[in-house]
Amino acid sequence: MVHGGSREGRVLVNDPRERGVASGRSRCDHGGVHTDTRSILARATALLAVCGLTFAAACSAAPASSPAGSSAATGSAASGATGTPGAAAGTAAGANATAEPVASTFGIATAALPKARFTTGTTTVTLPIEVPPEREYSIGLSGRRSLEGRGMLFAFPDGATVGFWMKGTHIDLDIAFVDASMRVIEVQTMRAETLDIHTPPGRYIAAVEAPAGWYAANNVKAGAQVAFDVDLKAATGR
């Protein structure tokens, strides 16, 4: 041993009070273990053994549990499945591959819809009509790929002159404008995806869209008397 210097990076201590620790560190570097170091390691090993036994006992006594979040995941899946039919009110997920916005009345069964009645002479024909709230008039019948045996009512109880167009509407439609005397003033055909503005020759209080050809097939034309199962003012949803 060399005193008073350094050797291979180890500190050589000359103070007898520090020799045990210094020797122990030095000998550990060469694979040896000092007596004091062995004593400390023995106590630490015993303490770890006791802690290990206690932890093992606690684990074996704990009840088995489900993975965290499994119940929430099941609930989410169930909610999604239950909510699927609701997609019909807002998006035409089933009939429309692109899930475009549709009126909230889309999901109502045709048999459950109110009726518009058109009378010409002694003949009356009925058309089931969706009655969306006024805030959905800008959607109308757009976003759909088919329209079988039903139409849509647009109510303007105070009178209107606004026009209609077919942007985003994928099927041809006919539209009948109804004036304050509750008579049809004009029927027009509107072609799918066109941007032409369709307006009647005068003010109207209601407009009824129907599948293209429906009015002609049922001999409904200007002058026909009209009645609705719904109150026009209430129909706006204001």
Condensed to tens digits (0 to 9), the pLDDT of residues 69-82 reads 333 333 322 333 32
Q: What percent of the chain has pLDDT over 90?
A: 55
Q: What CATH code is assigned to 104-235?
A: 2.60.120.1140
How many CB atoms are located within 10 Å of the residue 230 CB? 15
**pLDDT number for residue 43:** 59
Determine the average pLDDT of the residues in 22-37. 40
The whole-number pLDDT of residue 79 equals 30
pLDDT, greater one: 96 or 12: 96
Residue 63 has pLDDT above 50, yes or no: no
Q: Residue 138 pLDDT more than 50? A: yes
Q: Where are the domains of the chain?
A: 6-61, 104-235
pLDDT of residue 11: 32
Asked if residues 166 and 209 have their Cβ atoms less than 8 Å apart, the reply is no
Whether the per-residue pLDDT at 26 is higher than 50: the answer is no
Residue 100 has pLDDT above 60, yes or no: yes
What are the tens digits of pLDDT across the range 85-94?
A: 333 445 554 4
| Mean pLDDT of the residues in the chain | 73
**What confidence tier does 99 reach under pLDDT thresholds 50, 70, 90?**
confident
Per-residue pLDDT averaged across 212-229, rounded? 98
